[in-house]
Amino acid sequence: MTGDTATAPPRTVRSPSIHTLAVAGLAVTIGAQIVYPLVHGSTRDATTMVVLCAGVVAMAADAIGRRGALRGGLVIVTIAVLAFTFEVLGTRTGIPFGDYTYTQGRIGPSVATVPILISAAWFVGAYSVWRVAVFVLPRRPVLRVLAATVALVGWDLYLDPQMVAAGLWRWGVDDAGLPGIDQIPLTNYAGWALLGLVVFGVLSLLDAPARTDVLRPDDTTARVPVVPLAWFAWTWLGSAVAQVFFLEDGALRSGIPYALVAMAVLGVPALATATGCRR
């Protein structure tokens, strides 16, 4: 992971329709997240599936538009397969996340007791974080992987309490976590960190920054990853607002400081850099 340098950009799909599809997918997933607190029961589960499926469309379109169908598809499949493998190991052995089980039939079919859409969630989150990390740290491969891993764990500091409260999965222990969110064991975050290091380490080989990703000191033409960055910023800041004011009567707010700080590792420099690129 050391010493990677910007390479010539691979052949990409330049059709405006790809970007339009990515933006449309992002708009649908954000819209569904806005609806989520307003609905309940099976309708909320259906809304969750819309969030995930639309997110996949957005990020898959971004990956293919940026890298082309073959290489973009390889990135998509790699993240999904690695995540699914970790999830199967986790549910069967408790390694690396801890003892947990998924509720069946809530968000679509499962394979080996792991809902298929869980891999979709991993792809959306990990890909978005990776794209933001590449934008912020195109020349620092090791630091990029570490920062992306911290931000990914930060996302779960929002995600896990919310999904446990919704009953989509449950942990074997409920008193082994961080102060205020002790229902989520610390082993879970260790597992997320391990998977993040693996996924982002592999992506360092499959998806190293291209020239258009690198912002030189005298150049502001590096392409801002609009769709992944918008998803990241919405998740980072919007989740805090939702969990304070709209979800579970504010019962999820204890984890917000942890998540805000962890995602800020990439969020603050990404927004600052994007603002500079747009001047």
Give the DSSP letter string of 226-276.
HHHHHHHHIIIIIHHHHHHHTSGGGTTGGGHHHHHHHHHHHHHHHHHHHHH
As a residue count, the chain comes to 279
Q: What is the pLDDT of residue 35?
A: 98
Q: What is the pLDDT of residue 81?
A: 98
Name the nearest CA neighbour of 196 among 240, 136, 262: 262
Residue 252 reports pLDDT greater than 60: yes
Residue range 160-173: mean pLDDT, rounded: 96
pLDDT digits (tens, 9 = 90+) for 35-92: 999 999 999 999 999 999 999 999 999 999 999 999 999 999 999 999 999 999 999 9
What gap in Å lies between CA 118 and CA 216, rounded to an integer?
37
Residue range 182-205: mean pLDDT, rounded: 97
* Confidence label for 251 from pLDDT (cuts 50, 70 and 90): confident
pLDDT digits (tens, 9 = 90+) for 196-247: 999 999 999 999 886 555 554 444 445 899 999 999 999 999 999 999 999 9
Average pLDDT value over all residues in the chain: 91
User: DSSP secondary-structure letter at 139?
Assistant: T
Residue range 97-101: mean pLDDT, rounded: 98
Q: What is the pLDDT of residue 250?
A: 84
**Helical axes 256-277 vs 116-136, angle rounded to 10°:** 50
Q: What is the pLDDT of residue 218?
A: 40
Looking up tokens 């059709």 gives 15
In percent, the amount of the chain with pLDDT more than 70 equals: 89
Residue range 182-209: mean pLDDT, rounded: 96
Tokens of 257: 């400081």
Q: What is the pLDDT of residue 212?
A: 53
CA dihedral 21, 163, 237, 185 (to 10 degrees): -130
| Residue 7: Cβ within 10 Å count | 12
